[in-house]
Amino acid sequence: MRDFALEKFFSQWEFQAKYHMTASDAQSLSIGELLSLAGKTMEDLTNVHLSYTETWGAPSLRQAIANTYDNLNADNILCFAGAEEGVYTAMRVLLQKDDHAIVVVPNYQAAETLPIEICEVSGVALDADSNWRLDLDDIRKAIRSNTKLISVCFPNNPTGSIIPPDDYAELISICREHGIYLFSDEVYRLLELDESKRIDQAADVYEKALSLNVMSKAYGLPGLRIGWIASQDKDVLTKLEQYKHYLSICNSASSEYLAEVGLSVREQLLQKTLSLMTKNISMLDAFFDDYSELFEWQHPDGSCIAFPRFTGRGGVESFCKNLLEESGVLLLPASIYRSELMDAPTDRFRIGFGRANMEAGLLALRNYMEENRSALQA
């Protein structure tokens, strides 16, 4: 299989760089902090039996997850080891070599690479010049007689853009008209900067949708590795469950317990993430304001990542490389988001703002900018 560029880059740098300023998850909690937030004790955790669990996920966890949807029950939920196993399994099960898939670009690389490994894939651009708008005519034009699946991600990784609700409803009508599955990656949902931009969860409103979600992002619990796919289509879920027998088989019992604990205090976890994001984004506003000749900055609609443009001399790749080597500040340059399907932006970088290290990281970034400002000016 093709390399997963982002994970390969992270394998080298994520735990090496002094200032990880490009994380896509929110600030995590320790097990102790999570338990005490939920009024649980260490003893509660130590009583969890480390047996195999059900492949579908513990019934009580599936019910707690189903409660986060408007129209679904526990039997509409299949748990996975993180969202990533869900993406992999869904693509392997839904797509065969004679099928065709449509994927938005730019995107989280797995969304594009996994289908490409299986069948023909068309990319449809989110347009940088119109606030990352998805042109539904492009989707219509890309549809073929064998199009099996459209894969979207809103809030999008890396741009943070969200499709407007009317366009989303239209996208679902297009899928329905052609009998196409909609794979909707919703891992950044609930992190909208303006709540009125929040869109429905696809599985609530479309009978052939698969909604992907996880404890990693909005809830700040990536180390649990608990993700899930929600769908009204129980036949598809059953096929995914059977494929999972060849992967993780089942989730970790202690993680399932802690995910349920996390969901019992989901409002508190979300508020914690959102207030940190609000504080951090105002620091980013001040930074980008001070260096406005070198960056084009725009708030994402949602998520705790953004994709600003670097307009300085030498381009974004060397900016990110030099910054990392000289100051230990880790950002993700545009090349990580290269697409095989079409041109993707080449002058942007991903910055994260869901973690508690913003002040220290921005200080290091500011120091670097002060030392290099005139050299970077085009």
Ligand X SMILES: Cc1ncc(COP(=O)(O)O)c(C=O)c1O
Q: Which residues bind ligand X (CB under 6 A)?
A: 24, 82-84, 108, 153, 157, 185, 187, 214, 216, 222, 227
Kindly tell me which of 187 and 191 has the beta carbon lying closer to ligand X: 187
Q: How far is the CB of 294 from ligand X (least distance, A)?
A: 27
What does the alpha-carbon distance between residue 86 and residue 73 come to, in Å, rounded to a whole number?
19
* Shortest distance in whole angstroms from residue 109 CB to ligand X: 9
By beta-carbon proximity to ligand X, the closer residue of 227 and 262 is 227
219 vs 368 by CB, closer to ligand X: 219
In the complex, minimum distance from the CB of residue 369 to ligand X, in angstroms, rounded to a whole number = 27
Nearer to ligand X, 248 or 264 (CB): 248
Closer to ligand X by CB, 153 or 329: give it: 153
> What is the spatial distance between Cα 321 and Cα 315, in angstroms, rounded to a whole number?
10
Q: Which is nearer to ligand X, 83 or 128 (CB)?
A: 83
CB of residue 227 to ligand X, shortest distance in Å: 5
HEC string for the chain: CCCCHHHHHHHHHCCCCCEECCCCCCCCCCHHHHHHHCCCCHHHHHCCCCCCCCCCCCHHHHHHHHCCCCCCCHHHEEEEEHHHHHHHHHHHHHCCCCCEEEEEECCCHHHHHHHHHHCEEEEEEEEHHHCCEECHHHHHHHCCCCEEEEEEECCCCCCCCCCCHHHHHHHHHHHHHHCCEEEEECCCCCCECCHHHCCCCHHHHCCCEEEEEECCCCCCCHHHCEEEEECCCHHHHHHHHHHHCCCCCCCCHHHHHHHHHHHHCHHHHHHHHHHHHHHHHHHHHHHHHHCCCCEECCCCCECCEECCEECCCCHHHHHHHHHHHHHCEECEEHHHHCCCCCCCCCCEEEEECCCCCHHHHHHHHHHHHHHHHHHHCC
Q: Which residue is nearest to ligand X (CB)?
A: 82
Q: Which residue number, 7 or 204, has a Cβ lying nearer to ligand X?
A: 7
Q: How far is the CB of 90 from ligand X (least distance, A)?
A: 11
Whole-number minimum distance, CB 214 to ligand X, in Å?
4
Quick one: 231 or 327, whose CB is closer to ligand X? 231
Burial of 298 per CB tally in 10 Å (0-12, 13-18, 19+): middle
Report in angstroms how near the CB of residue 307 gets to ligand X at its nearest: 13
Instruction: Work out how close the CB of 20 gets to ligand X at its nearest, in angstroms, rounded to a whole number.
Output: 13
